[in-house]
Chains A and B, each alone.
Chain A
Amino acid sequence: MRFQRTFAFSTAMVAGAFVGACAIPQPTFECNALAPFWASYEIQSGAGTGTCSELPGDLINMQRYLLPGSMEPTIGIMPRRLGRLRLTTNLDGTYAYVDPTDPQYAKEAAIGTFSSLLPDKVGVCTMSSIAPTDQNYPAGVITVEGEDGGVAEEPLDALAIKYEWSNMKILSTAQYPGTLFVADLHLKENDCDATFKVYGIHPLVPCDSDIDCDPSPDTDGGPRTIGSGMSADYAPRCKLYPDGTPESMKGIRDYAGICFPTKGFDELAK
């Protein structure tokens, strides 16, 4: 009767209202970078001006800074080519390369400021500004062990290094949580002056041939017991170093090349 219809109708109404309001999407992932990256350098100008213009790429490390309660993350960008200078020490253990105008090494890493905490609709994070790396090491001496066990001195050449980054974009989604970035780089080392288009990926996987980049382990009892660690979506191949292992990669592992995606940043960001 009337009551039954009212009862059934109101139940259906309530049900419909709840259902229609639902299907909440999952949260977007914050802007972050998962370092270290292998960054491939594609020269745009300045070829032949020095060693720095011949670099095939470099290991780029990044560290995000966000204090609790803050909504403005920043990120430190540090190439290993620069960081390896820390290995050059005096006999007493102090660093040989010190910029007297910057003793706290505040301008050693480039510091980028994210435009916002969350990425845009396709998961791309951009920077509103990037303070460059700017280190000027004067000529001097470095103390080393002498031939007879005493202390000797060796000359140290002056070195002025500048890394100016611009147009940096980092992909930050659930599938690629800060593992891809692109940027323009203007690199100066003394007289060498070159600009590059940079494409960086994480993880950094050295290789001798394409099989080393295979994301799946060997299932037929072969020697590769763990996968390469590369995401299969990269469709990775082994990109060989044309002039041998770059200086900045030495000491990690000497391999003929590095695994690199065959898909571009914009293609993977879709």
Chain B
Amino acid sequence: MQHTNWLVRAALIGSALVSSLAFAQGTSVVTGTVTDAATGKAVPDVVITASSPALQGEEVVVTDAEGVYRLGQLPAGTYLLKLEKESYKPFSRADITIRTDRTVRVNIQLQPEAVQGDTVIVVGKPPTVDVGSTTTGISVGKEFINNIAFIRPTPNGVRSFESLASVAPQVASDTYGYGFSGSTSAENLILLDGVNVNDAQTGVNGAQLPVDFIQEANVITGGYMAEYGRAGGGVINAVTKSGSNEFHGSVFANYTPGLLAPPAPAISELGVSSVTQSRTWNIVDFGADVGGPIIKDKLWFYAGISPTFNRRMDERTLNKYVVNEAGDDYATNADGSLQTVPITGYSKRRFDDRRGIFYIAKLTYLINSDNSLALSVNGGNASRVVPFEFTNKIGGRSYEETNLSTSLKYTGAFFEKKLLIDATAGWFHQTATPYGLPTDGSKIGDTTGAAGTPELVLRQYDPAPLALSDVENLPQNVLDQCAPSTPGGLTPCPATGAGINYRKGGFGFMQKNVNDRFAGRASATYLLHALGHHVWKAGFDFEHARYNTTKAYSGGVQIQQATDGSGYLDVRRFASLGAPDQLTNIPVVSLTPTTNQYGIFAQDSWSIMDLVTLNAGVRYDSQVLYDATGALGMALNNMWSPRIGVVYDFTQAGRSKIYANFARYYQSIPLNIADRALSGENQAGFNRGGACDPSVDPNLINSGACIDPANFISNGSTSNPSRYARVTGQGRTPVDPSLQAQGKDEIVVGGEYEIIPDLRVGASYTRSWMLNIIEDMSNDEANTYFIGNPGSGLAKDFPKATRDYDAVTVMATKAFSDGWMGQLSYTWSYLRGNWAGFFRPETGQIDPGSNSDFDLKSLLANRTGALPGDRTHFIKGYVSKTFDVTSSLSLLLGVTYEGSSGTPISYLGAHPLYGEGEAFIVPRGSAGRTPWIHVISLKAGVGYKITKENAVQFTVDALNIFNFHAATEVDQNYTTEFVLPYVLAKGENANEAVCAAGANVGPNCVSKVTVTDENGTPQADKLNSDQINKNFKQPTLYQLPVQVRFGIKFTF
């Protein structure tokens, strides 16, 4: 009988609840109202006990005078609530699924004891609508990860957690990760167990961790409150698994065979007649994780480890050209391409191996009923080895990339759980070698080996190109096929040609980065009862990040041969002048730009009269960047972000919400800008000729004839104080004194409704626009540059930067129950503006705050239009069903469909000052769209329950099962001629103005496009059809091909 129990509990009510075993360590909330089933009146002083395998101990609260209760700081998991009060029947509700960062409302009616009957256990479906907030986005948990095929391993072979973001509406993959709501991936905030794991240099994701170790990821695309700041994109908040009171774990292995993966398209780059093709050989990962108690209900542990392998095979073959009759040039085909004949009996192969090892260790400790600690250490080491180069260079390349994230989290409750404190301290450490390092053991700064030998770029083709046999050792059968038809004649196998270079000798550019971020955050939550219920929250966070980079050119210099062979130029050398022609070498450059950031916020979540919730908050952020010498580089002040939202649940039972939110977001600027633009880069060198000839041994550049000034070639200047030295480094860029921080505003309006238990439908509308961006610009046609905001301050004559995003999303989500789960979303979006974000999709250049986007006013015409990330339609559908064939055998089938319409294509030409692809001939996006991309993936699995606790599962993930290969990027260079942007007349058709093939133009169409010479002087004739790039609109990149992965997992 329950009698005894509740008497004991009732006695406890009068005193503080401190003595009950309670632990709360998460960020989720269950709240609701308890009413009398007979009278409908609120019932105060009801004792509510929440328990869960995810919770250490139990959490107990009591309803207040209005019958309202709040269980806070809950970790994600499945909960059981038990309610007890004198003169009422005890009540239980089970299977309440709580996701990370969510607030669910569970209202309960208690039956008075006067009614006959036993304990009533209601097996009802608890609601799934998050009634506390206006955020848009979704939570991705274990069921999704296990049942749906959507994760591709990264190049290191790891099925990493950031790919969980791809299932949220308004998220699209871009060159460097996932872009949220029209922004670029470098603008997001990525948290792993509360630690910011963004790359300190570029802002992209810096950590990889297998999804097997992840409990849940909360993917937030907008509408969030003041506690998250300094991110203009969205937030990925991933939480790893924790231990529990029982030992649980798994052992898993996955294998992707190369046979079923088609090769990547061949690349022809290593010398004119050499072709390299790369294919997947296999991808393997395996691992284990285990969690359990060290002391039951007090100290839990969780640990996991997973090695990964990704092997690719590269193969090089050779072609030869056909020398023409006259023997002075190569024969061409009708379309202008060179005729080639494959060379038989030659193939060189190498394996390109990537390995990784990823690990996690966690302890969760309940100090006492009101205080707890959690310590989490996770990270990974990845390496890649390319054993040798196909060209004649010393040794191969070895890459190493590590990341380590450590966090300590404290959670505490005071004053009968009215005041809650959360604090986290974290350290994120990252190392990377972006271009690799030598495999022969030589290190940056060494004077011998591959690191001590200069790289030589051979370019001679005037009067004749170098033969491949001149620059590498080839087998005899190749030499025979490559022999010229007349002795000393034009070689059929050239190594160099117009625009094509052959690299030999030392390693080249070497860079090693060590990044650190030390961060801490603390917040206090206070519950107050006044005209409804208030949840006040205030807090601050602080971050110090360092980007330590060590750079060098092997042998101190990269040497470039003149195209006529007459000289060897120090094309890249870290050096500085102390006086005219007095060069001081800087063999190794080591810089550590740093940044300090902090934010404070205050917010109130006010449940007005318990009908409508008003969320109001404000946040203040500040960021300072310091250059490589530690001097102030840039200061971002006055980042005030107001956030206001309102949520109304018209069912008043946690099954619906209508919401609206306004938010301002400011952006944290990554440290890349402090490395180059704010620090300057000292590069200088000489051009050497005469008796200096390093072509046979590049080491000769630093001795003998090559350092004798008699062999220096004059820089040709009649006014430079130096006669020979050439200074090429970029100086510092000054900062506009009135610089404003980069930020955007956003409005979100939407609604959600749970039509039947576990099935939610919703719709939302998002609109966002930029306030200011930070970019480098020139007011005087590239003579001087400064960093500022387009449209204000020194840049007041520049147009404002715009990136306007409108999106309507409709979504249906079925939570996992009865073996079914699913999610279907459709997003219509409209992205217009003149600025894409932190990197330029047209070229891949990632220099946040100093891209070439706004550099020159003359480059800005026609830049406003549909941005490269604009995908009008985006459909994401995921469904899975588990069939129980027998009590121990089950089958799983998951189907995925992802479809998106194409991105805009522009007509690009060359700009006289800036080069290829920088002039928009007519407004952006006028040339149509890339095709629709469809991906259909399947997951199939067989599960077998060995015992009650142990099971094994075999799975097959087939991604892009029909191997659709639509183009994702096309050649947008309409012409490589220097052209000027053409301003369309009102109503004029852009395609006709450029005489685009396929437009309604006759054969005698004369284009309106002005061609200039390299000085910008207009030529008499407009652009004609001979000057149009024959490759325009041809694909340059395709969607990822089919990939089949077999997996086995044993759980206990």
Q: With an 8 A cutoff between CB atoms, is B703 at the interface?
A: no
Report yes or no: B783 in contact with A203, Cβ–Cβ below 8 A. yes
Report yes or no: B734 in contact with A229, Cβ–Cβ below 8 A. no
Report yes or no: B633 in contact with A15, Cβ–Cβ below 8 A. no
Chain B 510-544, CB within 8 Å of chain A: the 1/0 string?
A: 00000000000000101010000000101010000
Residues of B within 8 A of A84 (CB): 718
Report yes or no: A177 in contact with B786, Cβ–Cβ below 8 A. yes
Report yes or no: B719 in contact with A36, Cβ–Cβ below 8 A. yes
Q: How far apart are the CA atoms of A19 and B622 in the complex, in Å?
A: 9
Q: With an 8 A cutoff between CB atoms, is B915 at the interface?
A: no
Interface residues of A in 173-189 (CB under 8 A from B): 173-175, 177, 179
Report yes or no: B526 in contact with A22, Cβ–Cβ below 8 A. no
Nearest CB of chain B from residue A269's CB, rounded to whole Å? 14
Q: With an 8 A cutoff between CB atoms, is A27 at the interface?
A: yes
Residues of B within 8 A of A203 (CB): 780, 783
Report yes or no: B600 in contact with A79, Cβ–Cβ below 8 A. no
Q: How far apart are the CA atoms of A26 and B624 in the complex, in Å?
A: 10
Nearest CB of chain A from residue B775's CB, rounded to whole Å? 14
A-B contacts, CB under 8 A, total: 158
Nearest residue in A to B714 (C-beta to C-beta)? Answer: A86
Q: With an 8 A cutoff between CB atoms, is B578 at the interface?
A: yes
Given A24-B637, A25-B635, A111-B579, residue A34 in contact with residue B720 (CB < 8 A): no
> Among the listed B620, B739, B857, B912, which residue makes an inter-chain contact with A227, where contact means beta carbons less than 8 Å apart?
B857
Q: How far apart are the CA atoms of A223 and B912 in the complex, in Å?
A: 15
Residues of A within 8 A of B634 (CB): 26-27
Nearest residue in B to A30 (C-beta to C-beta)? Answer: B732
> Among the listed B538, B578, B600, B719, which residue makes an inter-chain contact with A65, where contact means beta carbons less than 8 Å apart?
B578
Nearest CB of chain B from residue A253's CB, rounded to whole Å? 10
Residues of B within 8 A of A101 (CB): none
Report yes or no: A61 in contact with B580, Cβ–Cβ below 8 A. no
Nearest residue in B to A32 (C-beta to C-beta)? Answer: B731
Q: With an 8 A cutoff between CB atoms, is B1016 at the interface?
A: yes
Chain A 77-93, CB within 8 Å of chain B: the 1/0 string?
A: 11110011011000000
Report yes or no: B734 in contact with A227, Cβ–Cβ below 8 A. no
Interface residues of A in 143-194 (CB under 8 A from B): 173-175, 177, 179
Given A68-B682, A83-B719, residue A74 in contact with residue B600 (CB < 8 A): no
> Among the listed B536, B586, B782, which residue makes an inter-chain contact with A68, where contact means beta carbons less than 8 Å apart?
B586
Report yes or no: A63 in contact with B739, Cβ–Cβ below 8 A. no
Given A24-B635, A108-B580, residue A76 in contact with residue B721 (CB < 8 A): yes
Residues of A within 8 A of B780 (CB): 203, 215, 227, 229-231
Residues of B within 8 A of A25 (CB): 635, 737
Q: How far apart are the CA atoms of A113 and B731 in the complex, in Å?
A: 19
> Among the listed A14, A23, A60, A108, which residue makes an inter-chain contact with B600, where contact means beta carbons less than 8 Å apart?
A14
Given A174-B786, A225-B1010, A226-B1016, residue A78 in contact with residue B576 (CB < 8 A): no
Residues of A within 8 A of B18 (CB): none
> Among the listed B721, B731, B783, which residue makes an inter-chain contact with A108, where contact means beta carbons less than 8 Å apart?
B721
Q: With an 8 A cutoff between CB atoms, is B631 at the interface?
A: yes
Q: How far apart are the CA atoms of A187 and B89 in the complex, in Å?
A: 108
Chain A 86-115, CB within 8 Å of chain B: the 1/0 string?
A: 110000000000000000011011010000
Q: With an 8 A cutoff between CB atoms, is B730 at the interface?
A: no
Report yes or no: A225 in contact with B1016, Cβ–Cβ below 8 A. yes
Q: How far apart are the CA atoms of A106 and B579 in the complex, in Å?
A: 9
Q: With an 8 A cutoff between CB atoms, is B231 at the interface?
A: no
Residues of B within 8 A of A61 (CB): 717, 719-721
Report yes or no: B719 in contact with A26, Cβ–Cβ below 8 A. no
Q: With an 8 A cutoff between CB atoms, is B1032 at the interface?
A: no
Q: How far apart are the CA atoms of A217 and B600 in the complex, in Å?
A: 47
Nearest CB of chain A from residue B691's CB, rounded to whole Å? 14
Q: With an 8 A cutoff between CB atoms, is B434 at the interface?
A: no
Given A14-B600, A27-B631, residue A232 in contact with residue B797 (CB < 8 A): yes
Residues of B within 8 A of A105 (CB): 580, 723
Q: Which residues of A contact B (CB under 8 A)?
A: 3-4, 7, 11, 14-15, 18-19, 22-27, 29-30, 32, 34, 36, 59-63, 65-68, 74, 76-80, 83-84, 86-87, 105-106, 108-109, 111, 173-175, 177, 179, 202-203, 215, 217, 223, 225-232, 251
A–B pairs, 15, beta carbons within 8 Å? A19-B620, A26-B739, A27-B632, A27-B634, A30-B732, A61-B721, A63-B721, A65-B578, A80-B719, A83-B717, A174-B736, A174-B794, A177-B784, A203-B780, A223-B1017
Among all A-B residue pairs, the 3 with the closest Cβ atoms: A76-B721, A109-B721, A61-B719
